[in-house]
Chain A
Amino acid sequence: MLQFISHYTDRYTYLDGIRMALEGGCRWIQLRMKHATDDEVRPVALQAMQLCKAYGAKLIIDDRVALVKELGADGVHLGKNDMPVAEARKLLGSQFIIGGTANTFEDILLHYKSSADYIGCGPFRFTTTKEKLAPVLGLEGYRSLLEQMREAKIQLPLVAIGGISAEDIPALMRTGVSGIAVSGAVLRAQDPVAEVKQLIKLTQEI
């Protein structure tokens, strides 16, 4: 499963990126506008929701629980400095997807107990998209975390994130992760739509 995390670049706006990801076949989009206000995010989110609806894709908005509820987006992704998952669940109920960022097994356990629906886990390697970063996990990190999840009978999908490019995907999928989140790999590609197609194909070839 591929999750595309929107980002703007010199070439593309947030919506350009989302449009290209959808066109390439991605059906799971995260709108992430870290330093914007809710009022700046709202119109972009509404357009993103329309696009996603047209493609039958899910739209998750980073960090903004109240906005997700207000707009009726599919869900929210919560980073380590955002609202705790348990609090978001109380506000949103069960009819929204809630994802939480984890760097360690303790984070995963906490998200699990807080009834998160998926875990965004990383960073796989050093990335330039994020400003603050925990130590990189590498393949071994994912293997170990997934093993600990199995032992603890935590059956949540884990999405690998952080500086992942096409050539990393086969080995990463073999560790047992459920999905891959990408941003830069798509937006920096010469042909982002073709890149999304290739990334999806790679996540399915295991």
Chain B
Amino acid sequence: MKININNRLTETQAKNLQELAVGLQLPDKGVAVAVNNQMVPRSQWTETILSEEMNVTIVKAVCGG
């Protein structure tokens, strides 16, 4: 599936935000993630299911995107 991460179409196998965070090797702290421009607290990452062309904003210097 392709999602928009910080305005860039990115291929991912992740099903939810938690899997995406693991895949991107985001640190345990010091990260903010928004879906469709609304911040999602870490406690809700697992239940936030990704869908095609979803807009994800990651406030973190993302490597290798």
Contacts and interface: CB of A to CB of B under 8 A. Distances in A.
A155 B5 contact: yes
Interface residues of B, number: 24
B32 A28 contact: yes
Contacts of A179: 34, 37, 57
Contacts of A150: 7
Q: What band does the interface of chain A fall in when counting residues whose beta carbon is under 8 Å from B? A: 20 to 34
A176 B37 contact: no
A203 B37 CA distance: 7
A203 B65 CA distance: 24
Interface on chain B toward A: helix, strand, loop, or mixed SS?
Answer: loop
Nearest to B44: A56
A94 B39 contact: no
Interface in B42-63: 43, 57-62
Instruction: Sort A-B residue pairs by CB-CB distance and give the 5 closest, nearest first.
Output: A56-B41, A27-B39, A95-B29, A96-B30, A95-B30
28 contacts: A1-B39, A27-B39, A27-B41, A28-B32, A56-B43, A57-B41, A58-B39, A74-B29, A74-B30, A92-B30, A95-B27, A96-B29, A97-B31, A97-B32, A112-B61, A117-B31, A117-B61, A118-B59, A156-B61, A157-B6, A157-B59, A178-B6, A178-B7, A178-B34, A179-B34, A179-B37, A179-B57, A203-B37
